[in-house]
Structure 1
Amino acid sequence: MRQNLRVAAYAVCVRDGRLLLARGRDKRGAPEWTLPGGGMEHGEDPHDTVLRELEEETGYRVEVTGLLGVDSVRRRFPRRFGRSVDHHGVRLVYEGRVVGGELRHETNGSTDMAAWHPLGEVPSLARVGLVGVALTLWRERPPAARVALPEE
C-alpha cells in the first residue's frame, strides 16, 4: 500500500465573534467549510505556509500570534485499480490576526469562497473535522497543544 505524508498549516482567525473560513469541496463535490491554510511546499517553513495560504485563499495578510497546536489524522483512501493509499496528515494550527488585504475568493485553487461566520453558527455548517479541532484548541489552549481523541 502506498503511503502519503502531508504536512499543512492552518490559521484560526476570529474577529468580532466571527471565524474566517474557506469553502472547498469534499470527495463527492459537495461544498464544505474549512480553515484557511494548506499544504507545505518542499523546503517551506510552516509559518510561511500559513501566511501564503491565507493570502491565496482569503486575500488577507495575517500576523501569526501563536501556535495553538498540532493535529494528526490517518486515513486510508481507495484509489484506482483496487489500490489504496495510507494517508497521514499532520496539521499545524496557528492563531492569526488580519493585518491587511481585502476579503476575496480564491480563483483556480482548492477553495472557491472565503467568508466570516458567527462562532455560534459554525457547528451547524457543513465543515471538515479540523474546524472543530481548531476551535477546541483556540478555546481551551490545552497544555499538550493537542485535542485528545475520545478513545484516548
Structure 2
Amino acid sequence: MREELRVAAYAICVRDGRLLLARLIGRDGSRRWTLPGGGMDHGEDPYDTVVREVTEETGYTVEPTALLGIDSMTRNYPRRLGSVADFHGLRIVYEARVTGGELRHETDGTTDMAAWHPLDTVPALDRVGLVDGALTLWRERPPTGHATDGHRP
C-alpha cells in the first residue's frame, strides 16, 4: 500500500451571515461544496497557500485573521493498476476576511463555481465534511484547534 500525505489550507469567510464556498468537482464528475482552499506547494507557507487558493477559486483577495484549527483525516482509495493508497490529509483551517477582488468562478481547476451561501442554508447543501467541521471550529474557537462535538473538519 502506498502512503500519500497532502497538506492543504482552507479559509472560512463569513460576511453578512453568509459563507463563501467553492464547488468541488470530484473525479467521478460529482459536485459538492467545500471551503475555498487547497494543497500547499513545496516550500510554501500555509498562510500564503490559503491566500493564493482563495484567489484562484473565488477571485477574492483575503487576509487570514485567525488560525482556527488543524485536522488530519485518513482514508484508503484505489489507485491505478489495482494498488491502494493509504491517504493522510492534513487540513489547516483559517478564518479570513475578504479585502479585495471580485467574485468569479475558477477555470481549469478543481472547482467550477464560487458563491456566498446564507449560514442557515448550508446544512441543506451537498457538501464535503470539511465544511461542517470548519464551521464548528469557527463557532467554538477551541484553544487547542480541535472540535469537541464530533464534527471535525
Q: Which residue of 2 aligns with 1:72?
A: 72
Unaligned runs of 5+ in 1: none
**In structure 2, what residue type is equivalent to 1:4?**
E
Contact 1:71-1:147 within 8 A present in 2 as well = no
- Three-state SS of the structure 1 residue aligned to 2:146 is coil
Structure 1 segment 46-85 matched on structure 2, within 5 A: 46-85=46-85
Partners of 1:149 and 1:96 lie apart in 2 by: 23
Contact 1:72-1:90 within 8 A present in 2 as well = yes
Contact 2:59-2:101 within 8 A present in 1 as well = yes
Contact 2:64-2:94 within 8 A present in 1 as well = yes
Q: CA deviation at 1:28?
A: 2.5
Partners of 2:87 and 2:59 lie apart in 1 by: 29
- CA distances 1:108-131 after superposition (whole Å, capped 9, x unpaired): 011000000000000110000000
**In structure 2, what residue type is equivalent to 1:79?**
R
Identity of aligned residues (%): 68
Q: CA deviation at 1:149?
A: 7.0
- CA distances 1:69-123 after superposition (whole Å, capped 9, x unpaired): 0111000001222210000000000000000000000000110000000000001
Structure 1 segment 134-145 matched on structure 2, within 5 A: 134-145=134-145
Q: Which residue of 2 aligns with 1:125?
A: 125
- Three-state SS of the structure 1 residue aligned to 2:55 is helix
Q: Which residue of 2 aligns with 1:9?
A: 9
Unaligned runs of 5+ in 2: none
- Three-state SS of the structure 2 residue aligned to 1:85 is strand
Partners of 1:138 and 1:147 lie apart in 2 by: 9
Contact 2:140-2:147 within 8 A present in 1 as well = no
TM-score (norm 2): 0.95
